[in-house]
Amino acid sequence: MNPTQPCSANGGQTENSTDFQCRLVVLPVGELCPHPSYIRHQLSASASHLSALAARGDIAFREPIVVTRNGFIIDGYARWELARRQGRHTILCLEYDLSEEDALSWLIQSHRPSRGFSGYCRSLLALDLEPSFQEAARANQRKGGQTKGSSTLTEAQSVDVRSEIAAVASVSSGTFSNAKQVAKAADPIIQQAVKAGEISVHKAWQWSRLSAQQQVQRLEEYRSSKGTNLVSRRLIQKHVARMLPTQLYPPTLGDLLKPLIPDRLAVLGSILVSEIDAPGRAAYLTRGAIDALRSKEDHECKNETS
């Protein structure tokens, strides 16, 4: 079965969907519920998505959400959540007869990058498919006469299982492995940050090897650094906008570095310096200034090698 093939809006099948049927129905909002894996991993629709849907008004509910016959939501979580918050009694649905596992596979595939779930969130959901993939691998192992009765997969089979699950989640095998480690060892605060897309899976995986206190400290430092950089960029923009041509002879980088580099490079004299009141200790250079310094460096390297 390929649950990613939807049926047509009138309840019939598309020409490519021959393994199962669905029907267009209006169901009570209160009788629907998230997929167990969605609840288990504490996922939720983003506030920005909900706001965007709310701004569309009733038009947002013209497209049906996708559910299973036992009321599990597959696709359309934001619309369902918005319907609950608005006190709507019913919602338009496409109802499929799917097993819990097939529904989970579809849920993951319908929330690939363009649909809103991060790679970490999809990997969390895909982790719940791991037992069935492992059992299938063991069945193939027994069928092939390899280590009869053994419940331990070979290293090659374990890699294959990991690759298959990663493919379902639309992430690389490395990202899936890192996500699995984050879910197992990272502090809950770090897990929430990576769920929200605030930090990458790789960064969360790196931090997961630290103590819980160190992980939280790294996150605070990261947030502080991002906030400082944002404030600095805004201050620079305001400062540049206020700069007046009355300052006829602004200092140059060469003037500033003269006490440190008596025989300063001529190129330093072409780079103007302006002081701003920004947090932290940082020097900001325009792309043109950096290009000038690099050009000088490349020229000197050529002279040395000639």
Domain boundaries, the chain: 22-116, 123-211, 243-305
- Structural element, H or E, at residue 72: strand 72-75
Give pLDDT, residue 156.
76
Q: In this structure, which amino acid lies at residue 14?
A: T
Give pLDDT, residue 180.
92
The two structure tokens encoding residue 174 = 């490395």
Give pLDDT, residue 13.
37
Give pLDDT, residue 274.
65
Q: Judge whether 79 and 61 are in contact, CB under 8 Å.
A: yes
Torsion over CA: 89, 91, 96, 99 (sign): negative
Up-side HSE of residue 86: CA atoms within 13 Å toward CB?
20
Give pLDDT, residue 9.
37
Give pLDDT, residue 69.
93
Query: How far is 251 from 229, CA to CA, in rounded Å?
Result: 24
Give pLDDT, residue 246.
47
pTM of the model: 0.51
Q: Judge whether 19 and 8 are in contact, CB under 8 Å.
A: no
- Residue 145: partners with Cβ closer than 8 Å, 6 or more residues away: none
Give pLDDT, residue 221.
86
> Which residues of the chain have a pLDDT value below 70?
1-20, 112-116, 144-151, 227-285, 287, 289-290, 293-306
- Pick from 38, 36, 27, 3: nearest CA to 17: 3
Give pLDDT, residue 11.
38
Give pLDDT, residue 201.
93
**Domain over 22-116 is classified CATH 3.90.1530.10:** yes
